[in-house]
């Protein structure tokens, strides 16, 4: 059986061997302590969790006390939106947000929160002027019964086309209007240079399995002073904001992944961006009419391309040795076209003719060449 060529790092990254090494001792029967327990095994586990918390904080430029461990970015996004928006407060989100953010909107509306979907340009970028105008309108409406600060949610980097958002400018607009701002940084966290405090963000989400860490663990960083209401009742762990016993091994794994991402950011970014451009060169040279989606200066490992007339889903069914995507992994089993591409002005037909490549730390030049050759041959033979 042919070993698959894995080009779906935007959906999930392979667990880094060094992260696995850091986690393994905490799966031992000897590592029995509950981090909340008042005895030596518990204190040892608590120390490991706090060390991991510090590593997460260092990667995203936040104080350790701001970091709350979650089961992943989906829970972190839910906690930020449903816990950060006061009942009745205005909520504004970009049209290209991840499904876990958009999925919170019906519940926010049920709570009386006016929701505004912010349009983006043809690259999927939200203009600060668009946010300023929409915030002004939302706040003028809310003046009749101001329930609390407005909440803005804009992802740092898009998970389908790789476009980076101008977070510093967007956060400045939000602050000037007294609004809170959250960013889903799941795709951007591993690239280095992301500073929650420097950007002026109130909330930031990330996930372990998108940066070489384990599945089942993520984090929400919440700025001190940014009101956050726990969406569920339970124990008093993590300041009562996210109750439940913390999985020490997974926390350690996330901390190790964040440390590696910080140490390798420059080299990973340079090498992966080079492979992405090599892949684009091969494909565009052989497939006339191929179009690139998203900004060229986006995520180093993301390449989204559209070839008019292509049925991307059918193509991939015939290439089981290539692991890539037609869009977001969260929508891979749905027949609906990508909401991201539609928001960028693409047609339904163009959305169905789109492939998304996700390159990462383990991707090799040989894999890029072989994947391009397989795809080109399959498309031209059709």
Task: Look up residue 269 and give its two tokens.
Answer: 């970014």
CA 236 to chain centre: 27
- Of 91, 251, 302, 330, the active-site residue reads 330
Angle at 373 between CA 368 and CA 376, to 5 degrees: 120
With b meaning 16 or more CB within 10 Å and e meaning fewer, what string describes 179-196?
A: bbbbbbbbbbbbbeebeb
Neighbours of 288 (CB within 10 A): 7
| Phi-psi sector, 122: left (phi>0), alpha (psi -120 to 50), beta | alpha
Token pair recorded at residue 366: 């040989």
> Which residue has 């451009």 as its token pair?
277
What is the C-alpha to C-alpha distance for residues 313 and 287, in angstroms, rounded to an integer?
18
Q: What is the DSSP string of 346-367?
A: --HHHHHTEEEEE--TT--HHH
Is 330 marked active-site?
yes
Contact 307, 229 (CB under 8 A): no
CA 338, CA 341: separation in Å to the nearest integer?
5
User: What dihedral do alpha carbons 65, 97, 170, 126 form, nearest 10°?
Assistant: 160
* Residue-by-residue DSSP string for 177-192: TT-EEEEE-TTTGGGS
Token pair 């494909």 is at which residue?
A: 283
Angle between helix 40-60 and 248-286 (nearest 10):
30
**To which residue do tokens 């052989």 refer?**
286
Q: Catalytic residues, which ones?
A: 330
């Amino acid at each position: 059986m042919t070993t698959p060529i894995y080009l779906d790092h935007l959906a999930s990254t392979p667990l880094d061997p060094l992260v696995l090494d850091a986690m393994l001792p905490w799966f031992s029967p000897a590592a029995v302590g509950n981090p909340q327990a008042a005895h030596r095994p518990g204190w040892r586990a608590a120390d490991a969790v706090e060390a991991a918390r510090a590593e997460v904080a260092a990667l995203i430029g936040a104080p350790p006390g701001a970091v709350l461990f979650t089961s992943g970015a989906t829970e972190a996004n839910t906690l930020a939106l449903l816990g950060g928006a006061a009942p009745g407060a205005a909520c504004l989100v970009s049209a290209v947000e991840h499904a876990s953010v958009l999925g919170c909107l019906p519940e926010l509306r049920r709570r009386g929160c006016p929701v505004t979907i912010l349009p983006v340009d043809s690259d999927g970028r939200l203009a600060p002027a668009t946010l300023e105008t929409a915030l002004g309108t939302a706040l003028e409406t809310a003046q009749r019964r101001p329930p609390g600060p407005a909440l803005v949610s804009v992802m740092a980097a898009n998970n389908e086309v790789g476009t980076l958002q101008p977070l510093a400018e967007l956060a400045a607009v939000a602050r000037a209007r007294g609004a809170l701002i959250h960013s889903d940084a799941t795709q951007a966290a591993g690239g280095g240079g992301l500073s929650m405090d420097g950007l002026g963000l109130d909330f930031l989400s990330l996930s372990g399995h998108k940066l070489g860490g384990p599945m089942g663990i993520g984090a929400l960083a919440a700025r001190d002073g940014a009101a956050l209401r726990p969406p569920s009742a339970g124990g008093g762990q993590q300041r009562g904001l996210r109750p439940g016993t913390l999985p020490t091994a997974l926390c350690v794994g996330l901390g190790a992944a964040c440390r590696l991402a910080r140490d390798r950011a420059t080299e990973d970014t340079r090498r992966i961006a080079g492979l992405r451009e090599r892949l684009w060169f091969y494909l565009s040279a052989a497939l006339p009419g191929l179009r690139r989606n998203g900004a060229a200066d986006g995520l180093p490992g993301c390449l989204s391309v559209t070839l008019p007339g292509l049925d991307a889903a059918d193509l991939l069914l015939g290439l089981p040795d290539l692991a890539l995507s037609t869009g977001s992994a969260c929508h891979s089993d749905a027949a609906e076209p990508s909401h991201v591409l539609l928001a960028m002005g693409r047609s339904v037909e163009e959305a169905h003719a789109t492939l998304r490549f996700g390159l990462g730390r383990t991707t090799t030049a040989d894999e890029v060449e072989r994947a391009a050759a397989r795809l080109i041959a399959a498309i031209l033979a059709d």
